[in-house]
Chains A and B, each alone.
Chain A
């Protein structure tokens, strides 16, 4: 089975803190994604990476950065957390060819106070 693992399920951080969300996949997928999911807004793409050290901005990259030093690992970084970044963050991965399923992790619930 495909496994996308997000290391932190629940986090509470203070405004201005630097936050790291880690994600690991075990399927040798080239693509990895970070989404946030908010009620009524659905899934919104923050960043995605199609290879090691490669990244592309998604629809809402402001306030976020990412790091992909190894193929299996993709990190989301909030340089200075703000309350409007309180959300559910979902990591996902897929093969880098058309018609391949995107698989999700269990999500990381971040609350910024």
Chain B
């Protein structure tokens, strides 16, 4: 079946550095991807999304890169701040089953002051 996973369960970075969080997916039919941020005790918050007809999308301090060849997704956070500390996870969706979302287990980002 489909799976969405993350390479690193925990990532520690220094405040001001850039962070890169990775995600692998296995369903070649997936064509829509989302990154979420989840702070402790709260629900997941939408950060940014990307469709499969794009390789890159930028938001405010965040960039998502999609490599369909190797089925890999990454989230880049520029100038990481203490408020970025949270669990980040990716989600995938496909047109042939668009009511179904598959979620990664998450990477915990620790930002050291």
Contacts and interface: CB of A to CB of B under 8 A. Distances in A.
A98 B46 contact: no
A6 B31 CA distance: 30
Contacts, number: 53
A98 B31 contact: yes
Interface residues of B, number: 25
B43 A98 contact: no
B91 interface: yes
A101 B49 contact: yes
A98 B103 contact: no
Interface string B50-71: 0100000000000000000000
Interface stretch (B10-18, B73-81, B92-100): B92-100
B43 A90 contact: yes
- Interface residue range, chain A: 20 to 34
Nearest to B95: A98
Interface of B: 31-32, 34, 36, 41-46, 49, 51, 89, 91, 93-95, 98-101, 103-106
Interface of A: 4, 6, 31, 40-43, 45, 48, 50, 56, 90, 96-107, 109
Q: Which 8 A-B pairs have the closest CB atoms?
A: A98-B98, A104-B43, A98-B95, A42-B105, A43-B103, A106-B43, A99-B32, A107-B43
25 contacts: A40-B105, A42-B89, A42-B103, A42-B105, A42-B106, A43-B89, A43-B103, A50-B99, A90-B44, A97-B98, A98-B31, A98-B32, A98-B93, A98-B94, A99-B31, A99-B32, A99-B93, A100-B98, A101-B49, A103-B46, A104-B36, A104-B43, A106-B42, A107-B41, A107-B42
